[in-house]
Chains A and B, each alone.
Chain A
């Protein structure tokens, strides 16, 4: 116990003395949290739109107005040729081209049928889908209202429609930041934990101080515990500041219990730190450790369900995400904060994390060798 205490003191002294390190640990994550949470949004707004209005009628003007009236589209130019329109798409001056054909008004008023063309930049399939949905919605509403006004209604039987009125549970205003902040917070403490611990032992090896430790009768578990505890405290402290920012700046609700969040954070930090120390014991230089840590960080982030829904991944990838501790913690954070889930509802994810923690810490203790071969 005493030995561990001396190690912990020493680590803290070193961390707080390192002027380069403090800003990285304390300030950087929160700048990231604030910026990323605002920037990482799937809301599609102010889409640049190019217009090809070949009809130039009252009705076509009305349709265009529908598009530009909302916040979703912004008219950036108009022309009468496909070549020019496509040029706009290629130059990314427009993501949507609305083509209204020559006989639009006449066709609509006489036959009740008219066609418009939408050319959507689908480089980013997700945004393209959203643009298409918005456009369909606008055209649909326009359609219904015009039909109602004109007498065409009598001749063309409008098909019966099922109206959908949706209301989002657990995030009724569909606030994107409420969904993102808890997840980004997880990524940040993973990043800090993995890198702090991942660089630590290998750094002592690089500068040679590890030898001085290894000739002492210190035990492996003492050494690893002495390394874990300081970073664990830092991780949990970062979590606290993050939760405070979530509450004060982003107004993210906290429907569940803070105790539960802390319990899970405590276990999760063991996973991350165990993994970092393991990396530290299998690498020779800080540079190697850094690359290995990044490799895992990228996979953990992309497969965490933070930015892309896990449900839309291929089956094999979905199975793989079960091995990703970040995925489970992101999931737990969102559920507890936004839905108020209790320990019973998250037990499956929690068990994964506990299992992971045991495996990682055991690996770290076992891989740390006092004797070189």
Chain B
């Protein structure tokens, strides 16, 4: 495996008495598709928000894309992309305007913006709706656009927080084609999900239970270890005893 692009050491976040993420230690290599699984409230989003610099950790260390999370925040931000679980492009701007805006914020030149926009609209097959406001597009299209916008500035890592929530399996499958394609170009993918079919697509998985890492391995190894057929069963075995709802 190549050099690590994310390394965390006992990264912890407390909200008052509640420990959302408890001493998370991870090492993720360049080009990996790293899946982050857990039930609702297991600490997935909190972890991702810390790693993207949106939330200050309570304690622990982390380096992202070679920059220290505390002292190198700007360096981290230049090298990461982020797609949040709440759809967070501008609904009242058109497809083209959204691309242009985020490309501009990341400092792309006019020439590059033009070129990227054209490319993107073509690959995403959004040329016909380029001047339509996002509000009137289907969620699946918006998610594909959000992913493309998140990697527009060619970051080293992209963080995807439940990127495919609320869409049908076919659309999800297409979304994962995009992820594979980006991964093939060397991009590191850090993705949270609670869809078990998606978990199978990852190179390595980390299952979180109550803020702690319950298990971290490759999907096949996990299934073998628990002696089951699918990730779904692995997840149920891990999550059930701990959570009483």
Contact = CB atoms under 8 A, between A and B. Distances in A.
B201 interface: no
Contact of B54 (A2, A10, A209, A214): A214
B77 interface: yes
B84 A208 contact: yes
A373 B14 CA distance: 10
B88 A212 contact: yes
Interface string A190-226: 0000000000000000011101111111100000000
Given A2-B107, A14-B93, A373 B56 contact: yes
Contacts of B93: 10, 13-14, 17
Contacts of B102: 212, 216
B87 interface: yes
Contact of B87 (A208, A213, A372): A208
A371 B104 CA distance: 22
B89 interface: yes
A211 B105 contact: no
Interface residues of A, number: 26
A6 interface: yes
Contacts of A213: 105
B54 to A, nearest CB: 6
A217 B92 contact: no
A7 interface: yes
**A215, A370, A371: residue with the most chain B Cβ atoms closer than 10 Å:** A215
Contacts of A216: 77, 102, 105-106
Contacts of B81: 215
Contacts of A111: none
A218 B55 contact: no
Nearest to B79: A217
B88 A217 contact: no
A3 B97 contact: no
A157 interface: no
Interface string B68-86: 0000011001101110101
A371 B57 CA distance: 10
B104 to A, nearest CB: 3
Interface in B32-89: 49, 52-56, 73-74, 77-78, 80-82, 84, 86-89
B90 interface: yes
A18 B135 CA distance: 13
A211 B54 contact: yes
Nearest to A212: B88
A204 B91 CA distance: 11
B101 interface: yes
B60 to A, nearest CB: 15
Contacts of B100: 6
A17 B91 CA distance: 11
B82 A209 contact: no
Contacts of A207: 86, 88, 91
Contact of B56 (A13, A209, A215, A371): A371
B183 to A, nearest CB: 20
A209 B105 contact: no
Contacts of A14: 90, 92-93
Contact of B80 (A6, A13, A211, A215): A215
Given A371-B54, A371-B55, A372-B54, A6 B90 contact: no
A6 B88 contact: no
A215 B52 contact: yes
A211 B82 contact: yes
Interface in A1-53: 2-3, 5-7, 9-10, 13-14, 17-18
A3 B77 contact: no
A215 B53 contact: yes
Given A6-B101, A10-B93, A217 B82 contact: no
B105 A6 contact: yes
Given A10-B101, A217-B74, A17 B88 contact: no
B84 to A, nearest CB: 5
A101 B210 CA distance: 91
Contacts of A209: 88-90
**B53, B88, B97: residue with the most chain A Cβ atoms closer than 10 Å:** B88
B77 A211 contact: no
Interface in A68-121: none
Nearest to B106: A216
B105 A3 contact: yes
A211 B88 contact: yes
A373 B54 CA distance: 9
Contacts of A2: 104, 107
A223 to B, nearest CB: 10
B107 to A, nearest CB: 7
Nearest to B155: A215
Interface of A: 2-3, 5-7, 9-10, 13-14, 17-18, 207-209, 211-218, 370-373
27 contacts: A10-B101, A13-B93, A14-B92, A17-B92, A207-B91, A208-B86, A209-B88, A211-B54, A211-B84, A212-B84, A212-B88, A212-B102, A215-B53, A215-B80, A215-B81, A216-B105, A216-B106, A217-B77, A217-B78, A217-B106, A218-B105, A370-B53, A370-B54, A371-B54, A371-B55, A372-B56, A373-B55
Given A18-B92, A211-B82, A216-B102, 4 more contacts: A3-B107, A212-B88, A370-B73, A372-B54
Interface of B: 49, 52-56, 73-74, 77-78, 80-82, 84, 86-93, 97, 100-102, 104-107, 133
Smallest CB-CB A-B distances: 4 pairs = A6-B104, A208-B86, A215-B82, A217-B77
